[in-house]
């Protein structure tokens, strides 16, 4: 199962909106096949079966170790449980049940009905953490929000005169880009864009995709020529009905959503729900003091993990 989780980690940066999943098929202590999710290809368990057959292995009586319950519904591909039953496996060990309401234990029941011995719960905590955003979206209806804060020992985030661009090291910035790469969306506010004009993309680590960039800009004050709009997908959340400013942003390929709250600011809970509706599992926030505090307060009011102070 640890090998299956290692394989799932290979899909850390590209599985979205699907969960990161790995599968290992073994018999008598020997690994016959293994697979993880890859971008825009067939599901990991089907590919594990193909890998075994390609190498001439008969899977009758083997055990499949999967980091997430096999799916039992038709989506982009047929159900995984059908392929596993047809392979005449003796046992399937799943780390954790799939929180997707379309699955939610039905995959395990289908395997049992197909005559396969099913176990679930091995390394469950590790498997859940691997897909913390997917579990959040399925169980809470909103993505997992992770806030990145760079601060000095005395609690400052910049020099008093505002001239500092970074107060972190090269290693810290590379680490930040690794967190950006695994996220589905990068969230920031108009204050950060106005002060720093950041690109907010992934540059310092390898990635197969760029996350969606989400800008919270209540009054649509952003300059359409900002570096944020570099050609990758951007969603601007505002609180005003200003057709002229919306049209200017749409001319540079930006999508705008209007989500006001009673204070005339962007309704952050409504924004998170909208991102979840779009299949966003994890949000990486890099913003100034005001938006960071609002993000943490909203997230911590419902639940918060001790790992990395992620909310």
| Per-residue b or e along 149-177, where b marks 16 or more CB atoms closer than 10 Å to that residue's CB | eeeeeeeeebeeeeeeeeeeeeeeeeebe
The Cα 265–Cα 249 span in angstroms is: 19
| pLDDT, tens only, 156-192 | 777 777 666 677 788 888 999 999 999 999 999 999 9
Distance of CA 197 to the CA centre of its chain: 25
The residue ranking higher by pLDDT, 277 or 296, is: 277
The Cα 269–Cα 255 span in angstroms is: 19
Ordered alpha helix ranges (H), the chain: 2-9, 44-54, 80-86, 106-113, 124-130, 132-140, 170-182, 190-196, 243-251, 268-277, 289-300
The Cα 167–Cα 156 span in angstroms is: 9
Sorted by where each begins, the domain ranges of the chain are 2-130, 133-309
List the one residue out of 22, 1, 27 whose CA is nearest residue 12. 22
Long-range contacts of 176-181 (CB under 8 A, 24+ apart): 176/148, 176/286, 177/202, 177/203, 177/204, 177/205, 178/204, 178/205, 179/146, 179/148, 179/284, 180/211, 180/284, 180/286, 181/12, 181/13, 181/205, 181/206, 181/207, 181/211
| pLDDT, tens only, 80-130 | 888 888 888 999 999 999 999 989 899 999 999 999 999 999 999 999 999
> What residues does 282 pair with on adjacent strands?
144
- Homologous superfamily (CATH) of 133-309 is Dihydrofolate Reductase, subunit A (3.40.430.10)
The Cα 58–Cα 162 span in angstroms is: 66
Task: Report how far apart, in Å, the C-alpha atoms of 24 and of each of 187, 226, 266 are.
Answer: 36, 46, 45
Contacts (Cβ under 8 Å, ≥6 apart) of 141: 273, 276
> What residues does 188 pair with on adjacent strands?
215
Cα R_g (the chain), whole angstroms: 22
Residue 177: cis peptide before it, omega within 30 degrees of 0 = no
Mean pLDDT confidence for 3-14: 94
pLDDT score for 259 = 98
Mean pLDDT confidence for 260-286: 96
pLDDT score for 152 = 80
Q: How confident is the model at residue 44 (pLDDT cuts 50, 70, 90)?
A: very low
pLDDT at residue 305 is higher than 60: no
* Helix or strand run (H / E) with residue 64: strand 63-66
> What residues does 22 pair with on adjacent strands?
36
pLDDT score for 278 = 97
Q: In whole numbers, what is the pLDDT of the chain averaged over residues? A: 86
Q: Could you tell me the fold of the domain covering 2-130?
A: Cytidine Deaminase; domain 2 (3.40.140)
């Amino acid at each position: 199962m640890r090998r299956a989780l290692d394989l799932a980690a290979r899909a850390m940066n590209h599985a979205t909106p699907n969960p990161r999943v790995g599968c290992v098929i073994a018999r008598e202590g020997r690994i016959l096949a293994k697979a993880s999710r890859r971008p825009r290809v067939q599901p990991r368990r089907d590919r594990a079966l193909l890998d075994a057959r390609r190498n001439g292995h008969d899977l009758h009586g083997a055990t499949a170790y999967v980091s997430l319950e096999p799916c039992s519904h038709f989506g982009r591909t047929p159900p995984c449980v059908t392929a596993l039953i047809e392979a005449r496996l003796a046992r399937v060990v799943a780390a954790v049940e799939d929180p997707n309401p379309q699955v939610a234990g039905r995959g395990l029941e289908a395997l049992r009905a197909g005559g396969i011995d099913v176990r679930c719960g091995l390394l469950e905590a590790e498997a859940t953490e691997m897909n913390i955003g997917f579990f959040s979206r399925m169980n809470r209806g909103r993505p997992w929000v992770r806030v990145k804060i760079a601060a000095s020992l005395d609690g400052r985030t910049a020099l008093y005169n505002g001239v500092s661009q970074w107060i972190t090291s090269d290693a810290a910035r590379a680490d930040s880009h690794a967190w950006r790469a695994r996220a589905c969306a990068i969230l920031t506010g108009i204050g950060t864009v106005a002060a720093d004009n950041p690109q907010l993309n992934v540059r310092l680590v390898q990635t197969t995709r760029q996350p969606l960039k989400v800008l919270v800009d209540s009054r649509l004050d952003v300059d359409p020529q900002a570096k944020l709009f570099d050609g990758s997908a951007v969603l601007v959340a505002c609180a005003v009905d200003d057709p002229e400013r919306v049209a200017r942003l749409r001319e540079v390929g930006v999508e705008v959503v209007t989500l006001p709250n009673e204070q005339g600011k962007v309704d952050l809970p409504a924004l998170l729900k909208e991102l979840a509706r779009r299949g966003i599992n994890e949000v990486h926030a890099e913003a100034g003091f005001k938006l960071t505090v609002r993000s943490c307060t909203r997230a911590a009011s419902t639940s918060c993990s001790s790992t990395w102070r992620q909310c």
